[in-house]
């Protein structure tokens, strides 16, 4: 199991996020973290960027396109978003961007609460394997992994990200 440099990834993500917020002119953005790892990353960024609005929490379990195959998971928690999403600038945060399916589900849930002005997607790390046409606006790092490898975030204290390798199917 390899450990990646989480502090460097967080610093690079924060720097890239500040640039994108400025470039896109986000005004009083609402930051939303995707449960679970995305919330840990969002909590860090929320503090570092001194965002005044409370952090929004999103559990996308019921919005996943594989929900019927997974069934109800015992750890499903309600999302916690402010009542007014309409016309807001939003920073959506997740830990790992892989296929794009998690982000699609998150956007579906956000739009059920209202139509934001714009959504900026920030992820700690982007990896190969995109399956739908969505991509992060900013990220802390990028990595190419084999099919039998995956990224695993642990935390929240200490926060760490590891590469896990499973035995390839024979």
> For 4, phi and psi rounded to 5 degrees?
-95, 160
Confidence bin at 147 (pLDDT 50/70/90): confident
What is the per-residue pLDDT for 61?
85
The stretch 113-129 carries a mean pLDDT of: 96
Which residues neighbour 128 within 8 Å (Cβ) at sequence distance 6 or greater? 143, 144, 145
What is the per-residue pLDDT for 70?
47
Sheet holding 138-143, edge to edge: 56-58, 30-34, 89-97, 118-127, 138-143
Query: How far is residue 94's CA from residue 132's CA, in Å, rounded to a whole number?
Result: 16
104 close to 68: Cβ distance less than 8 angstroms: no
What is the per-residue pLDDT for 73?
56
What is the per-residue pLDDT for 68?
47
> If one looks up domain 2-66+83-165 in CATH, what number appears?
3.40.50.2020
**pLDDT above 70 as % of the chain:** 90
CA dihedral over 101, 22, 125, 46, signed as positive or negative: negative
Tell me which of 66 and 102 has the higher pLDDT.
Answer: 102
Rounded mean pLDDT of the chain? Answer: 90
What is the per-residue pLDDT for 84?
85
Q: Where are the domains of the chain?
A: 2-66+83-165
The stretch 42-50 carries a mean pLDDT of: 96
CA dihedral over 78, 70, 42, 104, signed as positive or negative: negative
Query: How far is residue 12's CA from residue 138's CA, in Å, rounded to a whole number?
Result: 9
What is the per-residue pLDDT for 64?
66
């Amino acid at each position: 199991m390899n450990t990646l440099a989480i502090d460097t990834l967080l610093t690079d993500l924060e720097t890239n996020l500040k640039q994108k917020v400025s470039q896109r002119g986000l005004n009083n953005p609402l930051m939303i973290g995707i449960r679970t790892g995305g919330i840990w990353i969002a909590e860090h960024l929320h503090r570092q960027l001194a965002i005044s609005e409370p952090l929004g929490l999103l559990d996308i379990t019921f919005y996943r396109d594989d929900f019927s195959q997974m069934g109800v998971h015992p750890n499903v928690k309600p999302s916690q978003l402010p009542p007014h999403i309409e016309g807001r600038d939003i920073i959506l945060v997740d830990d790992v961007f892989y296929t794009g399916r998690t982000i699609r589900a998150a956007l579906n849930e956000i739009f059920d609460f209202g139509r934001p002005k714009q959504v900026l997607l920030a992820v700690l790390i982007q990896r190969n394997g995109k399956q739908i046409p969505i991509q992060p606006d900013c990220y802390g790092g990028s990595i190419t992994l084999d099919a039998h490898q995956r990224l695993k975030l642990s935390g929240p204290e200490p926060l760490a990200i590891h590469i896990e390798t499973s035995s390839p199917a024979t």
